[in-house]
Structure 1
Amino acid sequence: MKNRELIKNLAAREDGTVTVSGWVEKVRDQRHVQFVVLRDETGAVQLVNGGVLREADPENPRSDILLTRTETITHLELGSFVTVTGELQHNERVKLGGVEIQIETIEVVSHSLAETRTTPDSHIDVRLDWRFLDLRRPEQNLIFRVQTTFEHALREVWMNREFIEIHTPKLMASASESRAELFEVDYFDGKAYLAQSPQFFKQMAQAAGFGGIFEIGPAFRADPSFTSRHATEFTSVDTELSWIESHEDVMELHEELIVAGLTAVKEKHGEAIKKAFNIDITVPERPFPRIPLAEAKEIVKERGYEVPRADADMDPEGERQISAYVREKYGHDFVFLTDYHESIRPFYHMRSEEDSSLTKSYDLIYNGTEISTGAQREHRIEVLEAQALEKGMDLKELEFYLDFFRYGMPPHGGFGMGLNRVIMLMLGQSSIREVTYLFRGPTRLKP
């Protein structure tokens, strides 16, 4: 709409005629005056109809107009989309932004059904059923503005480093890691699998001589988990770069990206986040703390919790405990857990020269939850094949991947990071369901 004003810009405008459009959030229909709270994608404003007329007045030439306006507001359903033209007035007594609009004309563009389907207090499953209504809440709108700002800041880092953005296929002929969490789909006369990650294709870009690359896209895991941090479809933030000396280079890039993202969010949305979620965005100092996994398990044990399996990854309680330790000792929300045992890492992670049982890899923990896995990759074909065989993998099924390494491959590494987890932890939300536009889990495929 050509003349439409965004509500967030009204406070800076001079008094005068304006046109606004949005949905009806609240109506107060009093005897001599009517109030409407109108919200658009940027904020809310109070509309006032002071010329209330309850019945026709033959002596008033504007009687029909005033009566129609009054009746329209009286019968407004919450959630209806309307366009209003009126006189903008600055008024310090108005709590909602210090401005109001005296209605001159109101047009109902689209009516809403009268019944309420969801409220902020509704159960999360009810709100997800009616997600398009739930997303009208200003705090939900803010979540996705924060996500947009965060992603844009990451892209600026990549672009400044002259990285290339790629879009990898999500239909694959074979597994990128293990078949345990694969979605199998019919594909003409054969079978295909939804990609768990773009790992193989990120590495192909290194063989292609692309150097630094990145992708933000969907990934799929056939994991029947119902935890607050798992989904069957999620957004993965991936990057890979050539000519590294160790996984330390990957961690340094990771730090740069995280700091840039949080700085941008704090600068653009810090006040709004504080108001909506009572969260202060903290920009972490570099370098982030680094703790070898074995040492981290000992620290956690000294705090009174022992990770159940010595040969396993850090479990959720272990992640919470090591984060608490890092916050107490370093005042930091992030920690890299490094030097993972080869038995709990994929075959393509490079082994340490000092101890071949350890990999040049890490997990990044943020506010008590793992958000990312990164590593230096093995680029030597003979070593890669040997490590795949150790893991019991079929080299024939990996043939297309192994070919990348038979024609030259630079030393490289990278990471994959769950975007939804980062936003959840940044904003102090209880579940990734709250920060995912349309959540997909074992029992949810709609809307």
Structure 2
Amino acid sequence: MLEKSTLKRSVIAQLPMLVGQRVRLCGFAEAIRDQKRMRFIVLRDHTGKVQLTQSKDDLSLTAVLDALTPESAVAITGLVTSAPGVKLGGLEVSLETADICGLADARSPIDEESSLDKWIDHRQVSLRYPRQQLVFSIQTTLEEAMRSFWTENGFRELHSPKLMGTFSESGSEVFAVKYFGTTAFLAQSPQFYKQMAIAGGMERVFEIGPAFRAEPSFTSRHETEFTSIDMEVAWIDDHYDLMDLEERWLAHSVSAVAKAHGTTIKELFDVEISPPKLPFPKITFEQARETLGTLGHDLQKSHDLDAEGERLLSEWMAAKTGHEFLFITDYPAKGRAFYHMRRDDEPHLTKGFDLLWRGMEITTGAQREHRYDRLVAQASERGYKLNALSDYLEFFRYGCPPHGGMGVGLARVLMRLLKTDSIREVTLLSRTPKRLRP
């Protein structure tokens, strides 16, 4: 057994500073190679890999390690020695003791070439792969950078309820759940509560939390439960203020990822990460529609882009300017939420926008209608029952400043950052119309 009272755990990344010292390591046995007199084990923890060596002259240790299988969880003690010929960092650990804490089945259910569905079925194993470990390190860095930007710019964090008594967006694509003799809905976004905070004088708020969409979509970029990043800001002049905020926020966050993980991302994903240049290019929806026409692509809907249109527009802008980001502004009101503010000069258009990154929408945002009478009129125009929206409409009866905000899909940002084919490659556990497990 290990000497817990006298030897604290070290991690593999620390070993270059511990040559000549005894250490305690914990991790997974990635590979095992037996020779007549020696055994070699590659141990992996969350910081790296190291080669362990064991002399079979130590009969008691040999008896323990004879049972070891690949991917077993093991804790060891040993002496760190310099070994210039060893590829894993030029050092190794000579084993003294070993404790197999979690013996793995001899045959793994998957390998790195298995299908994505199998990866998700056996997530406890696929999460161990280096690319997957990196995804969640990047996610951590990304969120830390986002929060630092918000802190530096006077934002406050919200934790809004996910059970609602009414719908939070259009009223469609919601999950209804039983709730003490009545019906509740899982929140599609924290939209209404962000605006309540603005009406309450908080001025700048953000939230990172779950959102739910009962959308029967089976594409590589849709999930029924996802992590939504939301911001709302008071006292804006128009939606261009919001776009300026988002591009500075993204540039700050991507820069942090590039600094912390750029080399490893290049190694494992073959993707170059560099901070985006400001400002991001912007075109109106009408200009986007006309451009797509010249590219031979006609939109099926008169008020929204489709996936192919997003891809073509991004490629067109990248070829024209070298920029991977593109704002599409001034969408038709027909396809936007009822609370989006309309343009005074062209009331059929909204002060709204989407942000495309590498061919995919990652953000929807807009200036909101903060004037009670106009908001009621726009809800009535859509045929919504005002009593169902009474709580929301009450937020604006007692004075609310001009404001707006946006929602950003965390997994979509990661997907575009790493250029993965599916959102499920950068999501801890996928939720789709056909997947509720594990």
Normalising by the residue count of structure 1, what TM-score does the alignment of the two structures yield?
0.95
Between the aligned partners of 1:254 and 1:34, the Cα distance in structure 2 is 54
Q: Give 1:351 shift.
A: 0.7
**Structure 2 counterpart of 1:408, from 387, 399, 408:** 399
Aligned CA RMSD, in angstroms, stands at 1.1
Q: 1:4 aligns with which of 2, 5, 9?
A: 9
Counterpart AA for 1:354:
D
Give the superposition deviation at 1:436.
0.6
Which residue of 2 is the match for residue 143 of structure 1?
Answer: 135
Q: CA deviation at 1:175?
A: 0.7
State the alpha-carbon separation in 2 of the partners of residues 123 and 91 from structure 1: 38
Provide the C-alpha distance between the structure 2 equivalents of 1:262 and 1:113, rounded to a whole number of angstroms: 40
Match status 1:347 vs 2:352:
no
Aligned to 1:377: 368
Asked whether 1:28 is paired with 2:20, we answer no
Alignment of 1:326-405 (within 5 A): 326-405=317-396
Q: Distance in 2 between matches of 1:152 and 1:239?
A: 15
Q: Is the 8 A contact 1:43 1:138 kept in 2?
A: no
Please give the secondary structure, in 2, of the residue aligned with 1:301: helix
1:279-335 per-residue CA deviation (whole Å, 9 max, x = no partner) reads 1112111110001011011112212222223x2311000000000011111111100
Per-residue deviation at 1:428?
1.2
Counterpart code for 1:164? R
Q: Does 1:248 align with 2:244?
A: no
Output one character per residue of 1:87-120: Cα deviation in whole Å (capped at 9) or x when no partner.
1112221111222111111111221222211111
- Decide which of 429, 433, 443 is 2:424's aligned counterpart: 433
Counterparts of 1:121 and 1:178 in 2: how far apart (Å)? Answer: 41
C-alpha distance after superposition, 1:10-55 (max 9, x if no partner): 1233332111111111100111211001111111111011x223xx
For residue 77 of structure 1, report the CA deviation from its aligned partner.
1.2
- Which secondary structure does the structure 2 equivalent of 1:271 belong to? helix
What secondary structure is seen at the aligned counterpart in 2 of 1:294?
Answer: helix
User: How far 1:254 sits from its partner (Å)?
Assistant: 0.6
Where does 1:113-152 land on structure 2 (aligned, <5 Å)? 113-152=105-144
Opposite residue 385 of structure 2, the aligned amino acid is D
Structure 1: stretches of 5+ with no match in the other structure? 54-65
Q: Confirm or deny: 8 A CA contact 1:118 1:126 kept in the other structure.
A: yes
Which residue does the alignment assign to 1:47? 52
Corresponding residue pairs, total: 433
For residue 75 of structure 1, report the CA deviation from its aligned partner.
Answer: 2.1
Q: Is residue 70 of structure 1 aligned with residue 62 of structure 2?
A: yes
Distance between the aligned counterparts of 2:394 and 2:353, measured in 1? 26
The alpha-carbon deviation at position 354 of structure 1 amounts to 2.0
The CA distance in 1 between the partners of 2:40 and 2:188, in whole Å, is: 52
Letter in 2 for 1:270: G
Match of 1:307 among 279, 287, 299: 299
**DSSP 3-state at the match of 1:180:** coil
Segments of 4+ in structure 1 off by > 3 A? none
TM-score when scaled to structure 2? 0.97
What residue number does 1:190 align with?
182
Task: Give the distance between the partners of 2:203 and 2:266, measured in 1 at CA.
Answer: 39
Unpaired segments ≥5 residues, structure 2? none
Inter-partner Cα distance in structure 2 for 1:11 and 1:227:
46
Q: Distance in 2 between matches of 1:374 and 1:179?
A: 18
Contact 2:31–2:43, Cα closer than 8 Å, also in 1: yes
